[in-house]
Structure 1
């Protein structure tokens, strides 16, 4: 029997009797990170990296049964060794290394190989079998270094200030928003955020993460106070009454999908910044090669195309259907 199996509830380890990022309620869930397509409500017990604990409690309820462990520390379920290792996707994101006897499988969760300064550096893990995400598994997706992207964002903010416009960036409320705040801390004097972002931000601040302070936008926030600041909101706020109060404004979208210009037009954005918390095509290939895996399973995203490319280049690969997908608000 293989170490891990693909079932209708999620990725299952029969010997250890646990699931990894299950999408149906189970007794024991090992969770890679706190995004809703991977961390779902209803499991009896959760195991995650220790920085994910308060985020899971924020999203799933303070009364969940959850155990957090440091990166690299092992726990054993029925003799199966489990350890969590940096994925670099967001705060607390982890790859799951599962070892039964001499056989090692690694489940990547979501990951990126470039260190954003906040989420940790992706750690390649040698294994026989690697289960990898493929959100951006096409050659067209090739990110610029984040330093260049953040320089472009700074210039865009300055242009908007000269034009007398507020700057609004749309970014996923858990993960992407904090990456922006961390890397733009020197770009503007004040940050103003939507309530969805503020909730996660306050939890991370309370747990010691090095993030700048933010101002939570309420109906009573004077518009004049926003003049020199940067407004960050989730994509779900676009086109709502919440946004109209900031006119005149320039709208920027931060997402890997902005690599394709048509996506920016469809979002009615003034600017698109291809800033992603997922690996691009070269990053995916780099990660697969570094594992030395004899077998690769590809999940969510362009999984079929990526598996086919690996096969054509001498790596045994197979696409697997899962319930993982785009994080809410990223659609």
Structure 2
């Protein structure tokens, strides 16, 4: 990093010295601009939070009574002469990129993002800039996503097949973002849809913003026979837990970009893997960087060394900065996923 840089990386997060504000800080600060609600980007303890309006219910649900202000997409606001604006990142509901401009210098921090329109998040839109700070969670050529309609056809066909065999289908996905995307495209004509408590709580927070099918919360009173043949959506932490016993006989599936790796399904111990991610694949990252027209690219969390090396080979001024962000690991290991019904 250079002293003249508009954004720098320090022990607390990504910092704009001229505005004295942090972007997705991982330690408590006075002023924080938050890109989205996942726990590695939205942390407790900041004095003031600023985010997109649609992310406010998520932050309040997760962090409690915080001082938070919302802005609209593309709405410019100034802090100490520096102009900021938030733009859709397409990662999950309310996820934003942060555009930062000062004296003609434009930086963009993508946060987590994906370039496929999932039908529930405001679609990603590339922003022209001089310097782009990008994630590269799936920054390997091996990662290439199918169109999501194909994956959800696979999921619904799997559910139908399980139902015909008298089995319950249990599908694992992170409670914020992935679960709502799954619910959006499940086919209710196949049967009833049930949810784990962590999924249901977050979905209820988001229902005012989304059109989702009816779901049934699984409680201690829920009988196994009434669930048979249905779809159950649960966080990954529920896999192998006593909570699963009432679903016998059942088949399990995991929704994650990591399912693209052969053997990943076996490592998770589930019966089926569905390759679906809320992050860009290799081509999505490259396409997004090209569309930004950035000359300089700073890579954070993911396959940073491999991806930045490739960018340098094709002519970019590319480097790596370490952060406390976790990419899609957050969708597996977050403490939110440990909530029980």
TM range (shorter): over 0.9
Q: Can you give the 5+ residue segments of structure 1 that lack an aligned partner in the other structure?
A: none
- Which residue of structure 1 aligns with residue 23 of structure 2? 20
Q: Distance in 2 between matches of 1:237 and 1:118?
A: 25
Q: Distance in 1 between matches of 2:279 and 2:158?
A: 24
Task: Report whether the alignment pairs 1:88 with 2:84.
Answer: no
Q: Distance in 1 between matches of 2:122 and 2:283?
A: 19
- Which residue of structure 2 aligns with residue 312 of structure 1? 313
TM-fit CA distance, 1:80? 0.8
Q: Distance in 2 between matches of 1:288 and 1:188?
A: 41
TM-fit CA distance, 1:74? 1.3
Alignment of 1:95-110 (within 5 A): 95-110=97-112
CA contact (8 A) 1:154 1:187 kept: no
- Which residue of structure 2 aligns with residue 294 of structure 1? 295
Q: Secondary structure at the match of 2:61?
A: helix
CA contact (8 A) 1:128 1:294 kept: yes
Q: Which string of whole-angstrom CA distances, capped at 9 and with x for unpartnered residues, describes residues 176-210 of structure 1? A: 000011122445342111111111111111x3322
Q: Distance in 1 between matches of 2:197 and 2:230?
A: 16
Q: Distance in 1 between matches of 2:164 and 2:258?
A: 28
Say what the alpha-carbon RMSD is for the aligned residues.
1.1
Q: Distance in 2 between matches of 1:176 and 1:208?
A: 15
TM-score (norm 1): 0.97
Q: Residues 303 and 54 of structure 1: is their aligned pair in 2 closer, same or farther, counting only changes over 3 Å?
A: same
Task: Report whether the alignment pairs 1:114 with 2:126.
Answer: no
CA contact (8 A) 1:236 1:329 kept: no
1:72 aligns with one of 71, 74, 90: 74
Q: Secondary structure at the match of 1:33?
A: coil
Task: Report whether the alignment pairs 1:231 with 2:241.
Answer: no
Q: Distance in 1 between matches of 2:190 and 2:30?
A: 46
Q: Distance in 1 between matches of 2:294 and 2:331?
A: 33
Q: Residues 329 and 289 of structure 1: is their aligned pair in 2 closer, same or farther, counting only changes over 3 Å?
A: closer
Q: Report the count of equivalent residues.
A: 329
Q: Can you give the 5+ residue segments of structure 2 that lack an aligned partner in the other structure?
A: 334-341
Q: Secondary structure at the match of 1:34?
A: coil
Q: Distance in 2 between matches of 1:129 and 1:224?
A: 57
Q: Residues 82 and 273 of structure 1: is their aligned pair in 2 closer, same or farther, counting only changes over 3 Å?
A: same
Q: Which string of whole-angstrom CA distances, capped at 9 and with x for unpartnered residues, describes residues 5-59 of structure 1? A: 1111000001111000000100000000000000000000000010000100000
- Which residue of structure 2 aligns with residue 260 of structure 1? 261
2:125 aligns with one of 100, 123, 137: 123
- Which residue of structure 2 aligns with residue 143 of structure 1? 145
Q: Distance in 1 between matches of 2:61 and 2:228?
A: 31
TM-score (norm 2): 0.94
Q: Which string of whole-angstrom CA distances, capped at 9 and with x for unpartnered residues, describes residues 243-279 of structure 1? A: 1221110000000000012110111111100100000
- Which residue of structure 1 aligns with residue 160 of structure 2? 158
Task: Report whether the alignment pairs 1:5 with 2:8.
Answer: yes
TM-fit CA distance, 1:213? 2.2
Task: Report whether the alignment pairs 1:35 with 2:70.
Answer: no
